[in-house]
């Protein structure tokens, strides 16, 4: 099998191919009539017993945020033709994390597991909300515990433990879950690289960027100019795009009545 580096033309063609799909998905998530949950579908049943923390609502919020971040990356790279050294990776990281969370919520075959994951998603939201707002006097431990109690009220009839709900989740958990379930997407390494860029980690920034070296007056010290390229950012962008397609596929399957 050939391991030749793709030509610039091939890279541009692949970007344009995924850009069309990203634009179409951006239109879809903006349409309130799209992704309807059909009565009698698995997701309809999930929502009925998880109200007011409907599984489909949590998954849809993750999908919208994931598509929004991905579309922003596409717009920056292709439409504005601005290729920052790091920013596009941060956008792709946000997309990967949200899409992986959506897949983690929707993919389990058992209803209880889908509901548990949706409740854990809400628990993480409430915990981070309290951490942010408590110092401002806009939240307190009592209100936080009250919100968790409402999640417990949904979990209890399904024999989902409060401990599981309160644990929330980590982005690394949902990305690794997606890596195991979707080997053709393999989002783990792209997510790790994008996270490295988002945090300015040298292993990612120096490892993935194009470098120009300039001598300085200090012995053994070089100035380095870092730039990116369409071929380099295509690697995480393709994984993110494929994950988006997988999320939409499982969402539509769960939202339709089995034949």
10, 29, 126, 194, 235 from 20: Cα distances, Å: 16, 15, 36, 23, 17
pLDDT reported for residue 24 = 98
Specify the pLDDT at position 3.
58
Q: In this structure, is residue 121 part of a structural domain?
A: no
Q: Three-class SS string for the chain?
A: CCCCCCCHHHHHHHHHHHHHHHHHHHHHHCCCCCCCCCCCCHHHHHHHHHCCCCHHHHHHHHHHHHHHHHHHHHHHHHHCCCCCCCHHHHHHHHHHHHHHHHHHHHCCCCHHHHHHHHHHHHHHHHHHHHHHHHHHCCCCHHHHHHHHHHHHHHHHHHCCCHHHHHCCCCHHHHHHHHHHHCCCCCCHHHHHHHHHHHCCCHHHHHHHCEEEEEECCCCCCEEEEEECCHHHHHHHHHHHHHHHHHHHHHHHHHHCCCC
For residue range 186-197, list pLDDT tens digits in order: 999 999 999 999
Q: What is d(CA 135, CA 130) in angstroms, rounded to the nearest whole number?
A: 9
Per DSSP, what are the bridge partners of residue 215? 222
The reply to whether 124 falls in a domain is no
Please list the ranges in the chain whose pLDDT falls under 70. 1-3
Give me the number of domains the chain comprises: 1
Q: Please return the burial class of 129, using the count of CB atoms within 10 Å of its CB with bins 0-12, 13-18 and 19+.
A: middle
Burial string for 2-30 (b: 16+ CB within 10 Å, else e) reads eeeeeeeeebeebbeebbeebeebbeebe
Calpha distance 135→148 (Å, rounded): 19
Q: Can you give the pLDDT at residue 4?
A: 74
Task: Give domain status of residue 163, yes or no.
Answer: no
The rounded distance, in Å, linking the Cα atoms of 61 and 35 is: 12
Residue among 69, 123, 137 at smallest CA distance from 99: 69
96, 238 contact by CB (below 8 A): no
In a domain, 146, yes or no: no
Q: Range of 63's domain?
A: 20-109+174-255
Q: Would residue 115 count as lying in a domain?
A: no
Specify if 69 maps to a domain. yes
Answer whether 0.75 is exceeded by the pTM: yes
pLDDT score recorded for residue 1: 41
The tens digit of pLDDT for each residue in 83-140 reads 999 999 999 999 999 999 999 999 999 999 999 999 999 999 999 999 999 999 999 9
Domain-embedded: residue 3: no
Residue 129 lies in a domain: no
């Amino acid at each position: 099998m050939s391991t030749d580096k793709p030509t610039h033309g091939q890279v541009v063609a692949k970007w344009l191919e995924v850009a069309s799909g990203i634009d179409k998905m951006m239109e879809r998530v903006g349409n309130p009539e799209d992704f309807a949950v059909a009565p009698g579908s698995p997701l309809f049943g999930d929502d009925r017993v998880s109200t007011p923390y409907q599984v489909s609502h949590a998954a849809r919020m993750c999908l919208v945020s994931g598509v929004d971040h991905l579309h922003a990356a596409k717009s920056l790279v292709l439409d504005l033709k601005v290729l920052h050294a790091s920013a596009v990776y941060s956008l792709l990281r946000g997309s990967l994390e949200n899409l992986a969370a959506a897949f983690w919520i929707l993919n389990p075959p058992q209803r209880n597991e889908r509901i548990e994951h949706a409740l854990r998603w809400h628990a993480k939201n409430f915990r981070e909300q309290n951490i942010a707002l408590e110092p401002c006097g806009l939240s307190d431990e009592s209100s936080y515990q009250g919100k968790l109690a409402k999640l417990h009220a949904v979990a209890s009839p399904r024999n989902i433990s409060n401990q599981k709900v309160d644990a929330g989740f980590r982005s690394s958990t949902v990305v690794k879950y997606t890596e195991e379930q979707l080997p053709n997407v393999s989002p783990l390494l792209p997510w790790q690289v994008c996270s490295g860029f988002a945090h300015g980690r040298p292993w990612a920034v120096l490892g993935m960027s194009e470098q120009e070296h300039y001598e300085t007056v200090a012995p053994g010290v070089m100035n380095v100019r870092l730039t990116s390229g369409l071929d380099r950012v295509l690697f995480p962008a393709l994984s993110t795009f494929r994950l988006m397609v997988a999320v939409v596929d499982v969402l539509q399957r769960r939202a339709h009545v089995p034949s």
